Amino acid sequence: MKKPRVLINGFGRIGRAITRINLDHDKFELVAVNDINPDAKNMAYLLKYDSTYGQLARTIEHEPGRLFIDGQVVELTHKENIKDLDLTGIDIVIEATGIKSNLQEIEKMAYLNLATKYVITNVDSPTAKNIIFGVNESELLAHKGNIFSASICDAVAMGPVYNIIKKEYGVISGYLVTLHPWLSYQNLLDGSAASWSQPGDVDSHFALGRAAPQNLIPKSTSAVNALAHVIPEVSEKIGSFSFRVPTPIVSGAVLTLLLNKDITVENLIATFKNIQASQRNNIIALTSEPLISADYIKNDFSAIIDTRWIRVKNMNHVELIYWYDNEWGYSSRVVDLIIRLWENT
């Protein structure tokens, strides 16, 4: 089957992770990359050498305007605005910058049919068709639009866990606490809190400007709001909170739920195991190993439920912990989304 021709707009952490994952699985043809970094040599270097995921075992070469990955040509451009890209022959555009102005431009471009499909990463979009695997990927076949959002890492992890419990036991209320690694827009030393979605602006949450390697930084999380695009009632039932923690990768989460039905730890584990055995994509996994965050680096599941910490109180009050590589697991679902979109073309 012919593979889709893909352009990645934004070659940061997620853009490069998607590229590495596709090199392992060969699901699409990476035709072009656009990034505001004007230095092709530096872009090649950042793809080849990664402090989190290690050295890429591929031949990476470059020249002005091109990358060569194992000899395959990838065209490079350095446009600031997505509307200025040449999308001739491109089947799917991955918008991986997270910049809000690009989302507005995509709506205009999609209307003009300048590319077949657009997949937005890092942002939960109110206008795109939001897809979270383990919740609503079955809706892809019937959707007629051409803008899709892969949501955000926290919602991609929470979504299938919450959805399984909701369907089997019903949810009255609950609370989510996430522990999220630092992100690239944070500071090594105290400074202003730079906005990643609106470059040049200072984020009103000043604490995010404090030194990332030294601090636990309390903040809100958009996980529940993002999940509400596909499970609307979740915003009325679940509260949430987050800490930005001084580690470079892998998130953890504590999800506490009050259920409509009685439950036991054994019943819940059995429910998760049944779903895991029948799922098409690597969405949920279970572990009882005494592992730490570093052990989940490069794990491609959306959420890994740590069964050692499942607790049930008063028969219907459940608490559980799950882990997720907030870059690799999330980017793996972006690749899955591309595959499903192409299958439905």
Alpha carbon dihedral 41, 99, 131, 21, in 10-degree steps, equals: 10
pLDDT attached to residue 339 = 96
**pLDDT score at 113:** 67
Pairing of strands 251-259, 317-324: antiparallel
Stretches where the chain sits below pLDDT 70 are 111, 113-115, 124, 196-197
Give me the CATH number covering residue 99: 3.40.50.720
At residue 234, what are phi and psi to the nearest 5 degrees? -65, -30
The question of whether 153 is a catalytic residue gets the answer yes
Q: Is residue 202 part of a domain?
A: yes
Taking the model in full, what pTM does it have? 0.95
Whether residue 166 sits in one domain with residue 280: yes
Residue that the structure tokens 């799917």 belong to: 92
Pairing type for strands 129-130 and 117-120 reads unpaired
**In total, how many domains does the chain have?**
2
Whether residue 149 is contained in a domain is answered as no
Catalytic residue, from 153, 171, 226, 305: name it: 153
What pLDDT is recorded for position 250? 98
Quick: pLDDT tens for 249-296: 999 999 999 999 999 999 999 999 999 999 999 999 999 999 999 999
107 and 160 share one domain = no
CATH code of the domain in which 203 resides: 3.30.360.10
Which pLDDT belongs to residue 115?
A: 66
